[in-house]
Amino acid sequence: MALIVKDIMAEAVVTVYVENMANLLTNETVFLFGMKGEVRRLQAELTRMQCFLKYADERQDQDECVLSGT
């Protein structure tokens, strides 16, 4: 009888642990996929900034907008 109770308790503990780990992994996956999109957005923004800075550097002596800082 005591062995059966221990087995049931152990099974319950393992079940709760597995459910908690599954929830944690699901939440982490959702977070990481969200971050992937954010990283891509930031990469695109940095590429645009790099292009603008290259353009500004090439025309810094000629373009009034570049000279004024806009």
Domain count, the chain: 1
What is the pLDDT, as a whole number, of residue 64?
Answer: 67
What is the pLDDT, as a whole number, of residue 67?
Answer: 60
What is the pLDDT, as a whole number, of residue 66?
Answer: 58
Q: Is residue 53 part of a domain?
A: yes
What is the pLDDT, as a whole number, of residue 44?
Answer: 97
d(CA 60, CA 70): 11
Q: Is residue 1 part of a domain?
A: no
Instruction: Supply the DSSP string of 12-54, one letter for each residue.
Output: HHHHHHHHHHHHHHHHHHHHHHHHHHHHHHHHHHHHHHHHHHH
Query: Is the model's pTM score more than 0.75?
Result: no
pLDDT tens-digit readout, 16-70: 999 999 999 999 998 888 898 899 999 999 999 999 999 988 887 776 665 666 5
What is the pLDDT, as a whole number, of residue 60?
Answer: 78
The domain containing residue 25 runs over which residues? 14-68
Q: Is residue 3 part of a domain?
A: no
